[in-house]
């Protein structure tokens, strides 16, 4: 007898296949001819991202015999062209890989690192924390990039092709250009003021001194040349070569327009920092949920432990039988509690004693789940528990606030014909990163170090997320792969969204696994995000449901409107061997799901 979840997934797969039209990329697709579709079903492999050109780049690699890792690198490089405010070689990310042959999951921590000279007072000035706005567009905010090292590490471990050919679709896209859409223009407009602080950024992203027009072709020849150099010389060109020298010079002497009056505080990045950088191969987090194995990224990201703890808290609730209001209440409260523990316990494990195993124990989750009441709401901020010494309904600690994380990261999900799967989230932190373009190189630098706590929220309580030399700031990135009882893939998902990444992945998983939603609908469902704050954020689809909102407010929930939370993608393995790729229907202008050979 099959597990109830397995039976339900079979039904969902059939339902999704019936209503879907497979989307395949033309062999060499341009942005203006590549259609966007939120769901695709077929054979030979699948790619889902926020952008049609990027998904097409991955499909091109799969068609030429590349595997999921190869296609993920090609897709990520293309996103560096078309989504330059969310990703690029000036940033970092986390890579989760399922190996079909061994039926095992592996991960790479490609998070940016602080300079080796950084201390806990990195963002203090005259003894006081800098304002976020003063820190973000500065050399101080820039960490050592991890994305190129992530690509090379993944290819060396599990890829089948060298880096050079995999960068060619992105190089071509940067050279020939892509068509500007509403999202690209809107994101440029949101950054226009600070982009004008930096002449190289303004020249690239404000061509002719104006916002790029929707429908115009946007070219980035500098980035095309940078990709060509990386492909020819390898990533050593960045970590030990000319590209790296240019990065160091830019961070330490930000090329600001003197007339702007902007104080672009210099950083202290060195060539030694670049040469010392390593993308870390590490074991994934794992928890069991409904008899399935849920694998994600371990610290330095808090994604795997926090999503996993929340799932464990929900394990003993039959979410499939609850009303919509009851389900949202349980989901919100589980998120609130898991974020309380995240703030106290999770940081870079090279510097902090992170009790990841204990945070993911069912015993600890049960000791926290008893805090949830059906007729009342926990008052935030909830204090953390102690996972090493679980006490039923105990919360002995002092609450730590959730640090700000930029929301416009990007996520891609890939599967190949052999059954390998990649869930990869990459970022330059907030929209537009630091706002600083490396002159002549065509890419923005990250502002990832602003993910550190600028100062302890409570001097009496240890903060695991203060800066340190070579330390990785805590992240919420949560690329997740779910396996069945036979260690075969069921679904893989991930999302951008700063700290809302955790809640987006959690809500998508529970919508798909518990609430019976097809994957594309679980991704599209209106979202709620609770991060141990006084108010829970709601997207308009929930905010405008007055009856539902009043039911939740009646037991104590308080809400505020958030126009858009996350932008997820995923892939699902169907029982007959086909892949289903899914992306957003509306958020960020809709995502792009493609397969190599669409099903009839």
DSSP labels for 172-236? HHHHH-EE--HHHHHHHHHHHHHHTTSHHHHHHHSGGGSPPPTT-EE--HHHHHHHHHHHHH-TH
Helix (H, G, I), strand (E, B) or coil at 361: coil
Cis peptide before 179 (omega within 30 of 0): no
250 belongs to the catalytic site: no
Q: Residue 2 burial by CB count (10 A; 0-12/13-18/19+): exposed, middle or buried?
A: exposed
Per-residue pLDDT of the chain (600 residues; tens, 9 = 90+): 333 344 344 334 433 333 333 343 333 333 444 679 999 999 999 999 999 999 999 999 999 999 999 999 999 999 999 999 999 999 999 999 999 999 999 999 999 999 999 999 999 999 999 999 999 999 999 999 999 999 999 999 999 999 999 999 999 999 999 999 999 999 999 999 999 999 999 999 999 999 999 999 999 999 999 999 999 999 999 999 999 999 999 999 999 999 999 999 999 999 999 999 999 999 999 999 999 999 999 999 999 999 999 999 999 999 999 999 999 999 999 999 999 999 999 999 999 999 999 999 999 999 999 999 999 999 999 999 999 999 888 666 677 666 666 567 899 999 999 999 999 999 999 999 999 999 999 999 999 999 999 998 778 788 999 999 999 999 999 999 999 999 999 999 999 999 999 999 999 999 999 999 999 999 999 999 999 999 999 999 999 999 999 999 999 999 999 999 999 999 999 999 999 999 999 999 999 999 999 997
CA dihedral 586, 592, 593, 595 (to 10 degrees): 160
Please pick, among 34, 409, 425, 508, the residue that the annotation labels catalytic: 409
Q: Are strands 217-218 and 92-99 parallel, antiparallel or unpaired?
A: unpaired
Q: What are the structural domains, with CATH classification, of the chain? A: 282-403+545-561 (1.10.246.130)
Strands (E) across 402-515 are located at 410-416, 421-427, 480-483, 489-494
pTM > 0.75: yes or no: yes
Helices (H), 21-131: 52-63, 68-82
Query: What are the backbone dihedrals phi and psi of residue 287, each rounded to the nearest 5 degrees, phi first?
Result: -140, 160
Tell me, what DSSP letter sits at residue 301?
A: B
Q: Cα dist. 593→22, 267, 273, 373 in Å?
A: 8, 39, 38, 40
By the 8 A CB rule, do 253 and 268 touch? no
């Amino acid at each position: 007898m099959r597990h109830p979840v397995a039976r339900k997934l079979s039904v969902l797969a059939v339902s999704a296949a019936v209503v879907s039209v497979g989307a395949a990329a033309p062999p060499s697709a341009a942005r203006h001819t590549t259609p966007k579709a939120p769901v695709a079903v077929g054979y030979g492999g699948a790619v889902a991202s926020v952008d049609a050109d990027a998904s097409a780049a991955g499909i091109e690699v799969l068609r030429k015999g590349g595997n999921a890792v190869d296609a993920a690198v090609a897709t990520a490089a293309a996103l560096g062209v078309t989504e330059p405010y969310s990703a690029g070689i000036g940033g970092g990310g986390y890579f989760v890989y399922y190996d079909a042959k061994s039926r095992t999951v592996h991960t790479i921590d490609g998070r940016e690192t602080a300079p080796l000279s950084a201390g806990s007072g990195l963002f203090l000035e005259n003894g006081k924390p800098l304002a976020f706005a003063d820190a973000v567009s500065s050399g101080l905010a820039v960490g050592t990039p991890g994305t190129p090292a992530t690509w090379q590490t993944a290819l060396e471990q599990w890829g089948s092709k060298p880096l050079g050919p995999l960068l060619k679709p992105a190089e071509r896209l940067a050279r020939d250009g892509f068509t500007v859409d509403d999202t690209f223009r809107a994101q440029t407009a949101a950054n226009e003021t600070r982009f004008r602080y930096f002449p190289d950024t303004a020249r690239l992203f404000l061509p002719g001194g104006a916002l790029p027009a929707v429908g115009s072709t946007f070219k980035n020849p500098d980035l095309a040349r940078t990709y060509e150099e990386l492909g020819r010389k390898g990533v050593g060109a960045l970590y030990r070569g000319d590209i790296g020298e240019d990065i160091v010079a830019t961070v330490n002497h930000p090329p600001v327009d003197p007339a702007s009056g902007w104080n672009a505080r210099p950083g202290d990045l060195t060539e030694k920092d670049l040469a010392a950088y390593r993308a870390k191969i590490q074991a994934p987090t794992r928890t069991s949920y409904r008899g399935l194995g849920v694998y994600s990224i371990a610290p330095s990201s808090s994604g795997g432990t926090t999503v996993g703890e929340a799932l464990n808290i929900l394990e003993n609730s039959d979410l499939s039988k609850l009303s919509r209001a009851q389900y949202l209440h349980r989901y919100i409260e589980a998120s609130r509690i898991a974020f309380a523990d995240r703030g106290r316990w999770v940081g870079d494990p090279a510097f902090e004693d992170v009790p990841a195993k204990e945070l993911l124990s069912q015993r600890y989750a049960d000791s926290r789940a008893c805090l949830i009441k059906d007729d009342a709401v926990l008052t935030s901020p909830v204090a953390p528990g102690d996972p090493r010494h679980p006490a039923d309904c105990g919360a002995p600690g002092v609450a730590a606030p959730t640090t700000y994380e930029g929301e416009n990261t990007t996520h891609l999900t890939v599967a190949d014909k052999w059954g390998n799967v990649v869930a990869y989230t990459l970022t330059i932190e907030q929209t537009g990163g630091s706002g600083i373009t490396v002159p002549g190189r065509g890419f923005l630098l990250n502002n990832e170090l602003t993910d550190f706590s600028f100062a302890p929220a409570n001097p009496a309580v240890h903060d695991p997320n203060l800066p340190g030399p070579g330390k990785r700031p805590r992240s919420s990135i949560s690329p997740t792969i779910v396996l069945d009882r036979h260690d075969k893939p069921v679904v893989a998902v991930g999302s951008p969204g700063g700290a809302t990444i955790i809640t987006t992945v959690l809500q998508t998983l529970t919508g798909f696994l518990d609430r019976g939603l097809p994957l594309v609908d679980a991704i599209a469902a209106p979202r709620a995000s609770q991060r141990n704050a006084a108010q829970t954020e709601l997207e308009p689809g929930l905010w405008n449901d007055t009856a539902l909102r009043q039911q939740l407010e009646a037991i104590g929930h308080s809400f505020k409107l958030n126009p858009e939370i996350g932008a997820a993608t995923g892939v699902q393995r169907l029982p007959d061997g086909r892949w289903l790729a899914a992306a957003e229907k509306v958020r960020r202008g809709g995502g792009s799901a493609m397969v190599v050979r669409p099903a009839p």
